[in-house]
Structure 1
Amino acid sequence: MKKDDISRLLQRYLSAKEEGKEPYFDADQIDEMLSSFEDSNDYTYFDEVLDLGLKLHPGNSALRIKKSRQFVYNEDYESALAMLKNIAETDNQDLDMLKLECYCSLDQYSKVLEITEELIARDCDYLEEVFEEISPILTDLDMNEEARDFVDRGLALFPDNLILKNELCYIFEAEGDVPRAIELCNELIDKNPYSYEYWFTLGRLHSTVGDYEKAIEAFDFALTCDDSDTELKILKAYCLYMNGSYEKAIEEYQEIEGDEEVTRRISPLMAKCYVRLEQYEKAYQLLSTVINDPDMEDGATNYINYINCCTETGRNDEASSKLTKAVQLYPDNVRILSLLSLSLLDSGKKEESVEITNKIFKIIDSNNIDPEIQEECNRLIHAGEYLLSIGEVDKAISYYKKVLQINPKTPLIHIHLAMAYLHNQDLKNFANHINQIPEEDLFRLIRKIKSGAFGDLDIDSDNEEGPIQPKDLAKEFLKNKDNSN
């Protein structure tokens, strides 16, 4: 039906409504009006016209399917199924798709298979589309095992279907088998080397396993296919940052065009790059625009970076006040508390520092801490060093053991424990940890022993300087870029 004809139908409906009358339309006219509403994405009169149509033609299949779709949109799957089951039609694609979607959403995969097997037996002409449309629904519902089974069934029937292979790629990723996902994604790219989606997926997969060089390369190919995706540009810039290309990451961020929300998102990310480049004033200026935003993401990290910039640019009073505010805002954040603990040591308040350290370990024991943040806790080994230096050996050992529990691969942790046990003349435990020292750390230990510097071991295996004194702990914590980010 022509657009003008549909406009006349709608005007007739509105005129009758204004006069308080109920106009009559045949089922096809109602269906045409509803379809025009859907095409124009204007649903102002959709519900009332649909209700009028069902009142005038209660048995019409097309209108009942549209009503069922409305139920599905409102997540009322039981009502949708009740209406769909009363439609006595076969080989109706919309009808079958809606039924399958409802059963997926109701976690009734057996019914999904039952309907699918019926469609296979009938050899319906839209069977391939059934697998293409239902597989992503199962994936989106986190029904990973069912999605894998359904995709495997589909590929058994349509082995060259790229949509199903693409879905299998997502399933491999969800299962944690990223290498197979990458392999399959490369196969898809061989089939269609100009697919923006495939290149984007490949880049994202490489980024998840830390292969940032290949991720950046894939993102560049994706951008040649379509350079309009802001999210891709942000992710590429992030990979450049993770790959150590901080200047290029900044250039990428600066080229991103977007609204205020985009600017708000990328400002802290750019600031991280400037921190890595030790351009603290530029980082400070960026962070000062977002630090007071209550809705900013990763607020604790932004505070750490901001305090770092304040310290490096001589704004010590501001650094102190921001640390106080950060502790108030994030009272259970391990990195913030770590910085507070080290700051207290810097001020000579060792008892208060130990109290904060104990709080940190309680938080860790509660298992409510992100694994990435646990890595930051290892810097607390400095507090153990300080306790050892003042003779509180048992307390230092308890801290070292806690660090070992958090991350057994902490650099030099077995050396620290060995030296502490040797301090206590506990040769059994000394030998136990000596035997667990990695080869690269063992050579360093031998050099320390030859120099007689038992007490001069530090946590950073790349740093050959002497121990960090208590008054410098907070500054060293901030200067360590891993703690700042």
Structure 2
Amino acid sequence: MKKKDISRLLQRYLSGHQEGKDAYFDADEIDELLDSFEESDDYTYYDEVLALGLRLHPGNPDLQVKQCKSYVYNEDYDSALVLIESIAETDNQDLDMLRLECYVMQDSYDKVIEHIEKLIADKCEYLETIFEYIAPILGDVEMTKEAHDFINRGLMLFPDNLILKDELCYNLEMEGDIKKAIEVCNELIDKNPYSNDYWFTLGRLYSISEDYEKAIEAFDFALTCDDSNEELKILKGHCLYMNGNYEKALEVYNDVKKADETYTPRLMPLLAECYVKLEDYEKAYVLLKELLKQKNLHEVSSGSYISYILCCVETGHKEEASDTLMKAAKLFPYNIRILSMLVLAHMENGDEHKAQEATDLLFMAFEEMENKQLDDFKNLYRTGQYFFMKGNIDEALQYFNKVLNAVPGMPYIHLHIAMAYLAKGDIEHFCEHYKKTSPEELFDYLKKVGFDLDGIIDHFGFKHIPPEDLVKEFLKNKDNNN
């Protein structure tokens, strides 16, 4: 029906409604009016018109199916199933899909399979459509195991169904089997090599597996199919960044910003991180300062605060760096790297009491962290190095031992602990840890940090690194934003 005819139907309904009486519509007119609401995704009058239709034509099966859909939409699955049973109509695709959807939403997968097997036995003509409809719903409600089983059942019957294979790809990703998901995605691309969606998915899967080179290649193929997807470009920029190609990542981000200014706030921290990696701290400082002005403080990530503090230090805005660190510590009270920076700041200010308080909080936050990453331990490691260089040996040992207990194989950890005990004059513990350091590791480390190998026997003569330079080196490690 044409839009103007639908408009007349709606106006007739509204006129009757305003007069407090029901206008008459035949069942087809009600059905078409309801279809127009669904197509426009405007359900303002849907329930009212449906109720009117059922009053006028209570036994009409099409309107009863619409009532079932309304029940499902409003999550009243019990009422939907009661109505489906009362209709008792066989070979009705809509009713079968609604029935199975209700079973899924009621977490009754056994009933789903029971009904599917009945449809198979009855040689249902629309069985493939049923599988296509239900598989995504199982995925949406995170019934991952059940979804995998259902998809496999469908593919046994319809092995060339691309919708089911696409769902399998998604399901495997949710299960964490990225390698298999990539295999399935490549099968989809073989069937349709010009699909932007398939190439995008492949690139995303490679990015998850940290194979950024292949991810970038897949994104480039996706862009040859459709170059209008700005989200895809941003993800490509991320992969370029992770692959160390910061200049190219900047180009991609700037192209997105030029194409659509609404992306600017989101791109500002991404652009800033590229400039930080390129050590162009002035440009990064300007971007991050603007970001902190424009956004609510709680909307800015901890990583952006850490980068901004670094940029402040590098560009000579040290008071601003200190103020920002205090703000960040309040906003992210359990962030490992920010707490580590806070410890160092208090030490630089000569406030050992506050430094110890921050250390205690840091260790508590660290113990309560789930899914600790190697970089989190490296962060503690560097803080321990700072204390050692400052001559705070006991504090350094706190950090070194925390790392040792969690990551015994951390490079140079036994050597650092040995040196700390040597500084304390504790030869017994020095020897204990020194013996656990291989000669290769020892000489490699001494070479890296500038030890005087000729004087090693007398005083382990290491090259002194001024504390302020060590703080800069600590800040420059941008891979630990927690």
Q: TM-score, normalised by structure 1?
A: 0.89
For the structure 1 residues 37 and 439, does the alpha-carbon distance in structure 2 shift closer, same or farther, using more than 3 Å as the test?
farther
Partner of 2:344: 342
For the structure 1 residues 421 and 81, does the alpha-carbon distance in structure 2 shift closer, same or farther, using more than 3 Å as the test?
farther
Alignment of 1:130-279 (within 5 A): 130-257=130-257, 261-279=262-280
Partner of 1:460: none
Partner of 1:313: 315
Partner of 1:381: 381
CA distance in 1, matches of 2:438, 2:62: 71
Displacement of 1:347 in angstroms is 2.5
The Cα offsets for residues 145-200 of structure 1, whole Å up to 9 and x where unpaired, read as 10111111111111122221222112222222211111221121111111111101
Displacement of 1:385 in angstroms is 3.7
Displacement of 1:37 in angstroms is 2.0
Bigger relative contact order (CA 8 A; separation at least 6): 1
- Fraction of identical pairs, as percent: 55
Alignment of 1:9-28 (within 5 A): 9-28=9-28
The Cα offsets for residues 261-313 of structure 1, whole Å up to 9 and x where unpaired, read as 52111111110001111111111111122214226655211111111111111
CA distance in 1, matches of 2:150, 2:439: 49
CA distance in 1, matches of 2:282, 2:267: 17
3-state SS, counterpart of residue 481 of structure 1: coil
Partner of 1:481: 478
Give 5+ residue unaligned stretches, structure 1: 458-464
CA distance in 2, matches of 1:191, 1:85: 41
CA distance in 2, matches of 1:272, 1:386: 25
Displacement of 1:440 in angstroms is 6.0
CA distance in 2, matches of 1:348, 1:3: 76
CA distance in 2, matches of 1:317, 1:187: 57
Tell whether the 8 Å contact from 2:246 to 2:274 is kept in structure 1 after alignment: yes
Tell whether the 8 Å contact from 1:417 to 1:430 is kept in structure 2 after alignment: no
Tell whether the 8 Å contact from 1:212 to 1:240 is kept in structure 2 after alignment: yes
Displacement of 1:366 in angstroms is 1.7
Partner of 1:300: 302
Partner of 1:42: 42
3-state SS, counterpart of residue 59 of structure 2: coil
CA distance in 1, matches of 2:460, 2:106: 63
* Of 440-449 and 90-99, the range deviating more from structure 2: 440-449
Match of 1:470 among 454, 467, 470: 467
Displacement of 1:363 in angstroms is 0.8
Alignment of 1:106-121 (within 5 A): 106-121=106-121
3-state SS, counterpart of residue 482 of structure 1: coil
Tell whether the 8 Å contact from 1:375 to 1:407 is kept in structure 2 after alignment: no
3-state SS, counterpart of residue 427 of structure 2: coil
Partner of 1:31: 31
* Of 287-296 and 81-90, the range deviating more from structure 2: 287-296
Tell whether the 8 Å contact from 2:302 to 2:481 is kept in structure 1 after alignment: no
For the structure 1 residues 408 and 133, does the alpha-carbon distance in structure 2 shift closer, same or farther, using more than 3 Å as the test?
farther
Tell whether the 8 Å contact from 1:206 to 1:212 is kept in structure 2 after alignment: yes
Q: How many residues in Structure 1 have an aligned counterpart in Structure 2?
A: 474
The Cα offsets for residues 98-142 of structure 1, whole Å up to 9 and x where unpaired, read as 111121122111111111111111111111111122111111211
Tell whether the 8 Å contact from 2:340 to 2:383 is kept in structure 1 after alignment: no
CA distance in 2, matches of 1:196, 1:136: 20
Letter in 1 for 2:312: C
Displacement of 1:438 in angstroms is 7.5
For the structure 1 residues 452 and 103, does the alpha-carbon distance in structure 2 shift closer, same or farther, using more than 3 Å as the test?
farther
CA distance in 1, matches of 2:281, 2:308: 9
3-state SS, counterpart of residue 103 of structure 2: helix
Tell whether the 8 Å contact from 1:310 to 1:318 is kept in structure 2 after alignment: yes
CA distance in 2, matches of 1:75, 1:215: 40
Tell whether the 8 Å contact from 1:31 to 1:63 is kept in structure 2 after alignment: yes
Letter in 2 for 1:477: F
Give 5+ residue unaligned stretches, structure 2: none
CA distance in 1, matches of 2:188, 2:438: 42
Displacement of 1:418 in angstroms is 4.2
Displacement of 1:40 in angstroms is 3.0
For the structure 1 residues 385 and 95, does the alpha-carbon distance in structure 2 shift closer, same or farther, using more than 3 Å as the test?
same
CA distance in 2, matches of 1:414, 1:210: 31
Displacement of 1:74 in angstroms is 2.5
3-state SS, counterpart of residue 317 of structure 1: helix
The Cα offsets for residues 46-88 of structure 1, whole Å up to 9 and x where unpaired, read as 2211111122222322222222222222333233223223221
For the structure 1 residues 395 and 275, does the alpha-carbon distance in structure 2 shift closer, same or farther, using more than 3 Å as the test?
closer
CA distance in 2, matches of 1:417, 1:467: 17
CA distance in 1, matches of 2:61, 2:480: 63
CA distance in 2, matches of 1:36, 1:48: 14
CA distance in 1, matches of 2:67, 2:454: 83
CA distance in 1, matches of 2:158, 2:196: 23
Displacement of 1:371 in angstroms is 3.1
CA distance in 2, matches of 1:319, 1:53: 68
Cα RMSD (Å) of the superposition?
A: 2.8
Partner of 2:288: 287
Letter in 2 for 1:481: K
3-state SS, counterpart of residue 371 of structure 1: coil
For the structure 1 residues 467 and 109, does the alpha-carbon distance in structure 2 shift closer, same or farther, using more than 3 Å as the test?
farther
Partner of 2:366: 364
Displacement of 1:228 in angstroms is 1.8
Letter in 2 for 1:21: K
3-state SS, counterpart of residue 291 of structure 1: helix
CA distance in 2, matches of 1:429, 1:103: 68
CA distance in 2, matches of 1:204, 1:354: 43
CA distance in 1, matches of 2:429, 2:134: 64
CA distance in 1, matches of 2:61, 2:409: 65
CA distance in 1, matches of 2:159, 2:431: 60
